[in-house]
Amino acid sequence: MSEEQVIWDAEFNDRVTLYWLLRGALIMTVTVIGIVLLPIWFLVGRAVTRRYLRSFRCTLTNRSLKFAKGTFVRVEKTVPLDRITDIGLVQGPVMRLFDIEALSIETAGQSSQGSLVQLAGIKDGRKFRDAVLAQRDLVVGSAEDRPANSAGSPASLTAADGNTQLLESIRDTLLRIETKLDASGR
């Protein structure tokens, strides 16, 4: 296997810190008790959000997408490109005001509701998303173009032939089950 090569090292927009600062202030205001903490939040919050943003990493390689974030609790994830099913772009009204976007990554086999990872503030979010999807298509396409291993094995079938043969196999199995049920009198 070839060595993993970095295609795109994402950069993050500094304006996302102001967005987080205002979002935190809004949450404190809504909780009413947090109103007392607002002055402290505005004094300390800017430094906290900047430090948090500096912890963000997102790297697209030729085989995977790597994420890292967190100051107190560090979270790192590596997602193989062939597992990515969707990359959503979220931009609410306040985010549009600050010209920031959040990318949400969803994968095949994801056990929980929602996205696997959501990263706010990636510069050129649309271009980054398109680059990830294009690289994913290259990886998935190269897997589909591999030669057949052995005739009749599920791994060796092309997508169209594989689907047809799989459906025919399921039909034949169901007919055999139906025949056995009829023969047993059920």
pLDDT per position as a tens digit, 18-66? 999 999 999 999 988 888 989 999 899 999 999 999 999 999 999 999 9
Quick one: 163 and 98 in the same domain? no
Q: Does position 1 have pLDDT exceeding 70, yes or no? A: no
Angle at 131 between CA 98 and CA 18, to 5 degrees: 15
Quick one: 117 and 162 in the same domain? no
Quick one: 106 and 179 in the same domain? no
Quick one: 137 and 102 in the same domain? yes
Q: Residue 152's pLDDT is what?
A: 42
Strand partners, 65: 60, 79
Quick one: 163 and 96 in the same domain? no
Q: Residue 15's pLDDT is what?
A: 94
Quick one: 74 and 39 in the same domain? yes
- Give the pLDDT mean for 105-113: 72
Quick one: 161 and 134 in the same domain? no
- Could you give the angle at which helices 38-54 and 15-30 cross, rounded to 10 degrees? 140
75-80 β-sheet, strand order: 6-9, 57-61, 64-69, 75-80
What is the domain extent for residue 95?
Answer: 6-144
Q: What is the chain's Cα-based Rg?
A: 24
Quick one: 30 and 73 in the same domain? yes
Which pairs count as long-range contacts for 3-7, CB under 8 Å and 24+ apart, including other chains?
Answer: 4/61, 4/62, 4/63, 4/64, 5/61, 5/62, 6/59, 6/60, 6/61, 7/60, 7/61, 7/62, 7/131, 7/135
- Structural domain count of the chain: 2
pLDDT bin (cut points 50, 70, 90) of residue 164 is confident
pLDDT bin (cut points 50, 70, 90) of residue 142 is low
Quick one: 120 and 98 in the same domain? yes
